[in-house]
């Protein structure tokens, strides 16, 4: 039994002549929190889009949860157990918390095609369980998202992960638009996920946050992975050197070869 | 509040907190308008609007005759407003409903004609004697098919060509009116069978309206169809990312609106015992106005069937009230206009306040 949750081999995405991502070999172990860093256009978002089914890779293998996967769309990835908190929140403002969490995968009391009857009670209970698991506090889950702060909205998006017992959570800049207090709240939730042994891929520009929350840092530059650093062996300055191109780990030294 | 505050980052959890429903505001508006007419009636006509103090009446103190008229006169447009409500909640608009009523009334009446009128052959016969006295189910089904067809064309245009709903349904509005005129070369079609005439007889339009209102209230509130309609109107991208088949759902929303317009045409034709090419003129705007007065947001995502029904009642009260005060119909239209704009302004003002508080 391998404890590798996610593995990519030679994952590559070209948009015509633009090589957005080339030959990414990435592994994620059970319970591990890995940060992905890199400048704008370094390929980290492209990498994540291949994992979440938003785009289909040009070539390469994606092995998740022991099986090779070919995600055609975000639903495929979600059904396989990859939950993504997108930079632009995919929430419907006029729906309340349970309705948003279960949007597109509702629980039914009676199945009648498009007029299937919703099981509000089951969805509410699952939502409360999910919120408790992540220690997310929302003033009132019956409130619509419209009436919530940015931090609360982000928490709702993250709570989806816990509610659906997903096997991997990916967060794309979850605190970029938040204030100090709200950022602290989201970080607390990420710590709760860590304690629960839930694996996570975190894309972030915030060095302090990455050093606080993650076990390993993977750096992308110009469409390629250039470093794979255990937190204990590195520090902020070292990581920045990899991001800017001052350093490249020998095993990734593609520029010379 | 204190014993439930165990949140992180200063947030508290209070599951009992319930928000004041928007429908309650609309209902208060209805009561205020009723009171206004009551006061005006007492002042200027020395007569009560809603109550009947004449002891010789049928036991109740309410003026039931007036209340019946108020509800009856909004029932047929009210059926269209149910369809308009779900279209607007999905973030769209349907301008074609009135014309679809015209076309459907013509088609359905053409197959509902009776052969003999007072011992003479039907003078308005459209297709000749072999198309007379058909079973009532046939014209009803044909009418529904015409309505659903028109609605589906709207929906397919909007969902797959991505043209704005305003344009697609404007096209249908013009085309369906043309088709209604083409159908009988502009001639009215009259004299239905007895069973067809029973559909819209007496208070039957109210029964249909109430029944359909309850049905659509349940559909919007308790089925996945309703949930996805709100979700699409609220944030179409989020709905798509959540795996909702947005194009298919929109087509269904417009088809159902078409079915309701078609059914309203059947009731209208039956009630009037005739179909004319100009039937249903401006009904779509009255229906949209009922929804908007009832708190359905034109930007999508918010509103309810209950709100629309109260909106329809407000509409009926205003029309009856003006007649009761013996004011000209011109004033009615002007005040209707003011109320529509006022409802939207109030709704926006309320939203801004809510978002400032949040």
The pLDDT tens digits for B305-343 are: 999 999 999 999 998 998 898 888 888 888 888 888 888
The residue count for chain A: 257
- For residues A201 and A222, the answer to whether their CB atoms sit within 8 Å is no
Is the confidence at residue A40, as pLDDT, over 70?
yes
Look up residue B121 and give its two tokens.
């052959």
Higher pLDDT, A2 or B201: B201
Higher pLDDT, A47 or A157: A47
Give how far A201 is from chain B: nearest CA, Å.
20
Q: Inter-chain contact A138–B244, Cβ cutoff 8 Å?
A: no
Note the Cα A18 to chain centre separation in Å: 25
Is the confidence at residue B10, as pLDDT, over 80?
no
Specify if A75 maps to a domain: yes
Name A84's bridge partners.
Answer: A170
Is the confidence at residue B356, as pLDDT, over 70?
no
- For residues A37 and A47, the answer to whether their CB atoms sit within 8 Å is no
Is the confidence at residue B70, as pLDDT, over 60?
yes
**Sequence-distant (≥ 6) Cβ neighbours of residue A47 within 8 angstroms:** A11, A21, A24, A26, A36, A220
Instruction: Return the pLDDT at A37.
Output: 93
Give the pLDDT mean for B341-353: 79
Of A92, A104, A105, the CB nearest to B234: A92
Give how far A169 is from chain B: nearest CA, Å.
16
Name A29's bridge partners.
Answer: A4
Q: Inter-chain contact B235–A91, Cβ cutoff 8 Å?
A: yes
Q: Inter-chain contact B224–A116, Cβ cutoff 8 Å?
A: yes
Q: Under DSSP, is residue B356 helix (H, G, I), strand (E, B) or coil?
A: helix
Note the Cα B137 to chain centre separation in Å: 24
CB of B215 within 8 Å of a chain A CB? The answer is: no
Q: What is the largest CA-CA distance in chain B?
A: 84
Q: Inter-chain contact B233–A94, Cβ cutoff 8 Å?
A: yes
- For residues A28 and A21, the answer to whether their CB atoms sit within 8 Å is no
Q: Inter-chain contact B14–A139, Cβ cutoff 8 Å?
A: yes
Is the confidence at residue A234, as pLDDT, over 80?
yes
**Sequence-distant (≥ 6) Cβ neighbours of residue B229 within 8 angstroms:** B86, B89, B90, B220, B249, B253
Please report residues of A whose CB lies closer than 8 A to that of B307.
none
Q: Kindly indicate the confidence band of residue B22, based on its pLDDT and cuts at 50, 70 and 90.
A: confident
Whole domain around residue A26: which residue ranges? 4-252
Q: What is the largest CA-CA distance in chain A?
A: 63
ipTM score above 0.90: no
CB of A86 within 8 Å of a chain B CB? The answer is: yes
Closest chain A residue by Cα to residue B246:
A104
Please report residues of B whose CB lies closer than 8 A to that of A92.
230-231, 234-235, 238-239, 301
Specify if A123 maps to a domain: yes
Distance CA B96, CA B69 (A): 27
Look up residue B324 and give its two tokens.
């009761």
Q: Inter-chain contact B7–A137, Cβ cutoff 8 Å?
A: yes
Specify if B122 maps to a domain: yes
Is the confidence at residue B9, as pLDDT, over 90?
no
* Count of other CB atoms within 10 angstroms of residue B269: 32
Choose the mutation target among B223, B240, B348, B354 for the interface with A, i.e. most A CBs under 10 Å.
Answer: B223
**Sequence-distant (≥ 6) Cβ neighbours of residue A82 within 8 angstroms:** A51, A52, A53, A64, A166, A167, A168, A170
DSSP state of B223: B
Please report residues of B whose CB lies closer than 8 A to that of A91.
235, 238
Look up residue A225 and give its two tokens.
């992975």
Instruction: Return the pLDDT at B20.
Output: 76
Reported as a single tens digit per residue, the pLDDT across A78-99 is: 889 998 887 666 789 899 999 9
Distance CA A62, CA B292 (A): 50
Comparing A37-41, B3-7, B23-27, B315-319, the range with the smallest average pLDDT is B3-7
CATH number, position B231: 1.10.3470
Q: Work out how many CB contacts closer than 8 A connect A with B.
A: 118
Instruction: Return the pLDDT at B331.
Output: 85
Higher pLDDT, B142 or B6: B142
Find the helix or strand (DSSP H, E) in which A10 lies: strand A4-15
CB of B31 within 8 Å of a chain A CB? The answer is: no
Closest chain B residue by Cα to residue A147:
B358
Give the pLDDT mean for B179-183: 94
Please report residues of A whose CB lies closer than 8 A to that of B13.
137-140
Instruction: Return the pLDDT at A179.
Output: 82
Q: Kindly indicate the confidence band of residue B55, based on its pLDDT and cuts at 50, 70 and 90.
A: low
Q: Kindly indicate the confidence band of residue B5, based on its pLDDT and cuts at 50, 70 and 90.
A: very low
Q: Kindly indicate the confidence band of residue B188, based on its pLDDT and cuts at 50, 70 and 90.
A: very high
Distance CA B162, CA B207 (A): 37
Q: What are phi and psi of B256, to 5 degrees?
A: -70, -40
Of A197-206, B115-124, B325-334, where does the model show the most confidence? A197-206
Is the confidence at residue B62, as pLDDT, over 50?
yes
CA-wise closest residue to B297 among B214, B233, B249:
B233
Please report residues of B whose CB lies closer than 8 A to that of A138.
11, 13
pTM (2 d.p.): 0.86
Q: Kindly indicate the confidence band of residue B206, based on its pLDDT and cuts at 50, 70 and 90.
A: very high
CB of A163 within 8 Å of a chain B CB? The answer is: no
Specify if B51 maps to a domain: no
Q: Mean pLDDT score of chain A, rounded to an integer?
A: 87
- For residues A199 and A33, the answer to whether their CB atoms sit within 8 Å is yes
Look up residue B100 and give its two tokens.
């679809």
Specify if B10 maps to a domain: no
Residues within 8 A of A (CB atoms), B 50-109 only: none
CB of A180 within 8 Å of a chain B CB? The answer is: no
**Sequence-distant (≥ 6) Cβ neighbours of residue A177 within 8 angstroms:** A150
Find the helix or strand (DSSP H, E) in which A230 lies: strand A224-230
Whole domain around residue B332: which residue ranges? 23-37+60-357
Q: Inter-chain contact A95–B11, Cβ cutoff 8 Å?
A: no
Q: Mean pLDDT score of chain B, rounded to an integer?
A: 88
Reported as a single tens digit per residue, the pLDDT across B98-107 is: 999 999 999 9
Burial class (CB in 10 A: 0-12, 13-18, 19+), B26: buried
Distance CA B88, CA B296 (A): 7
Specify if B12 maps to a domain: no
Instruction: Return the pLDDT at B56.
Output: 59
- The total number of structural domains in chain B stands at 1
Specify if A257 maps to a domain: no
| % residues pLDDT > 70 (chain A) | 96
Give the pLDDT mean for A69-74: 87
Sequential DSSP letters for A22-79 = EEEEEEEETT-EEEEE--TTSSHHHHHHHHTTSS--SEEEEEETTEE----SHHHHHH
CB of B231 within 8 Å of a chain A CB? The answer is: yes
- For residues A111 and A89, the answer to whether their CB atoms sit within 8 Å is no
Closest chain B residue by Cα to residue A100:
B231
Please report residues of A whose CB lies closer than 8 A to that of B19.
142-143, 147
Is the confidence at residue A3, as pLDDT, over 90?
no
Give how far B301 is from chain A: nearest CA, Å.
6
Instruction: Return the pLDDT at B8.
Output: 39
Distance CA B102, CA B177 (A): 7
Instruction: Return the pLDDT at B1.
Output: 34
Instruction: Return the pLDDT at B32.
Output: 94
Classify the C-alpha dihedral B87-B88-B90-B92 as positive or negative. Answer: positive
Please state whether beta strands A33-37 and A200-203 pair in parallel, antiparallel, or not at all (unpaired).
parallel
Is the confidence at residue B4, as pLDDT, over 50?
no
Q: Inter-chain contact A108–B8, Cβ cutoff 8 Å?
A: no
Q: Inter-chain contact B227–A99, Cβ cutoff 8 Å?
A: yes
Distance CA A250, CA A253 (A): 5
CB of A244 within 8 Å of a chain B CB? The answer is: no
* Count of other CB atoms within 10 angstroms of residue B262: 31
Specify if B31 maps to a domain: yes
Instruction: Return the pLDDT at B355.
Output: 64
Give how far A207 is from chain B: nearest CA, Å.
22
Is the confidence at residue B151, as pLDDT, over 50?
yes
Please report residues of B whose CB lies closer than 8 A to that of A95.
227, 230-231, 234
Is the confidence at residue B12, as pLDDT, over 70?
no
CA A174 → CA A59, A84, A136, B150, distances in Å?
A: 29, 10, 15, 45
Distance CA A186, CA B121 (A): 80
**Exposed e or buried b for every residue in A65-89, given b needs 16+ CB within 10 A?**
eeeebebebbbebbebbbbbbbeeb
Instruction: Return the pLDDT at A17.
Output: 86
CB of B126 within 8 Å of a chain A CB? The answer is: no
Angle at B264 between CA B258 and CA B270, to 5 degrees: 140
Look up residue A98 and give its two tokens.
């349970």
Please report residues of B whose CB lies closer than 8 A to that of A88.
237
- For residues A226 and A246, the answer to whether their CB atoms sit within 8 Å is no
CB of A129 within 8 Å of a chain B CB? The answer is: no
Distance CA B356, CA B358 (A): 6
Give how far B206 is from chain A: nearest CA, Å.
25
- The total number of structural domains in chain A stands at 1
Find the helix or strand (DSSP H, E) in which A221 lies: strand A216-221
Q: Kindly indicate the confidence band of residue B354, based on its pLDDT and cuts at 50, 70 and 90.
A: low
Give how far B351 is from chain A: nearest CA, Å.
10
CB of A90 within 8 Å of a chain B CB? The answer is: yes
- For residues B301 and B88, the answer to whether their CB atoms sit within 8 Å is no
Choose the mutation target among A94, A124, A152 for the interface with B, i.e. most B CBs under 10 Å.
Answer: A94
Look up residue B80 and give its two tokens.
């269209």
Instruction: Return the pLDDT at B327.
Output: 85
Angle at A54 between CA B231 and CA A8, to 5 degrees: 140
Closest chain B residue by Cα to residue A107:
B224
């Amino acid at each position: 039994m391998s404890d590798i949750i996610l593995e990519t081999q030679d994952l590559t995405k070209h948009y015509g002549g633009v090589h957005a991502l080339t030959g990414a070999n990435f592994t994620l172990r059970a319970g591990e929190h890995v940060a992905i860093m890199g400048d704008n256009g370094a390929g980290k978002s492209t990498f994540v889009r291949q994992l979440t089914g938003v785009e289909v890779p040009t070539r390469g293998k994606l092995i998740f949860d022991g099986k090779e996967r070919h995600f055609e769309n975000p639903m495929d990835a979600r059904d396989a157990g990859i939950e993504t908190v997108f930079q632009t929140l995919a929430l419907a403002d006029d729906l309340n918390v349970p309705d948003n969490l279960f949007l597109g995968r509702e629980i039914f009391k009676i199945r009648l095609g498009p007029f299937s009857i919703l099981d509000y009670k089951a969805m509410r209970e699952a939502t409360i369980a999910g919120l408790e698991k992540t220690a997310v506090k929302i003033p009132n889950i019956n409130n619509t998202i419209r009436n919530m702060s940015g931090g609360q909205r982000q928490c709702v998006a993250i709570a989806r992960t816990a509610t659906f017992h997903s096997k991997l959570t990916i967060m794309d800049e979850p605190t970029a638009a938040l204030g100090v207090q709200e950022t602290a709240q989201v970080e607390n939730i990420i710590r709760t996920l860590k304690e629960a042994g839930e694996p996570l891929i975190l894309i972030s520009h915030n060095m302090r946050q990455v050093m606080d929350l993650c076990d390993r840092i993977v750096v992308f530059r110009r469409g390629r992975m250039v470093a794979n650093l255990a937190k204990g062996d590195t520090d902020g300055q070292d990581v920045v050197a990899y991001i800017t191109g001052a350093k490249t780990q020998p095993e990734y030294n593609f520029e010379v070869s | 509040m204190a014993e439930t505050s165990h949140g992180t980052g200063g947030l508290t959890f209070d599951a009992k907190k319930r928000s004041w429903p928007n429908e309650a505001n609309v209902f208060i508006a209805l009561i205020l308008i009723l009171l206004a007419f009551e006061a005006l009636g007492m002042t200027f006509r020395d007569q009560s609007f809603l109550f009947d103090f004449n002891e010789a009446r049928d036991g109740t103190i309410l003026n039931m005759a007036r209340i019946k008229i108020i509800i009856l006169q909004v029932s047929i447009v009210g059926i269209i407003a149910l369809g308009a409500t779900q279209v607007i909640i999905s973030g769209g608009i349907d301008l074609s409903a009135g014309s679809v009523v015209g076309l459907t009334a013509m088609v359905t009446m053409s197959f509902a004609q009776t052969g003999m009128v007072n011992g003479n052959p039907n003078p308005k016969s459209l297709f000749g004697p072999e198309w007379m006295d058909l079973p009532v189910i046939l014209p009803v089904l044909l009418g529904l098919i015409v309505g659903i067809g028109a609605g589906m064309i709207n929906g397919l245009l909007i969902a797959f060509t991505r043209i704005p709903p305003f344009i697609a349904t404007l096209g249908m509005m013009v085309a369906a009116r043309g088709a209604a005129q083409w159908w009988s070369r502009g001639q009215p079609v009259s004299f239905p069978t007895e069973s067809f005439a029973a559909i819209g007889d007496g208070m039957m339009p109210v029964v249909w309206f109430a029944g359909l209102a309850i049905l659509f209230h349940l559909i919007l509130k308790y089925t996945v169809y309703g949930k996805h309609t709100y979700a699409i109107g609220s944030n179409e991208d989020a709905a798509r990312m959540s795996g909702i088949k947005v194009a298919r759902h929109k087509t269904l929303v417009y088809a159902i609106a078409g079915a309701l317009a078609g059914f309203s045409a059947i009731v209208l034709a039956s009630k009037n015992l005739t179909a004319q090419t100009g039937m249903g003129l401006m009904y779509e705007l009255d229906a949209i106005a009922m929804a908007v007065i009832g708190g359905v947001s034109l930007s999508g995502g918010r509103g309810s069937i209950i709100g629309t029904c109260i909106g329809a009642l407000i509409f009926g009260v205003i029309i009856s009230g003006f007649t009761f005060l013996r004011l000209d119909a011109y004033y009615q239209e002007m005040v209707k206009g003011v109320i529509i704009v006022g409802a939207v302004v109030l709704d926006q003002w309320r939203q801004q306040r809510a978002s400032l508080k949040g």
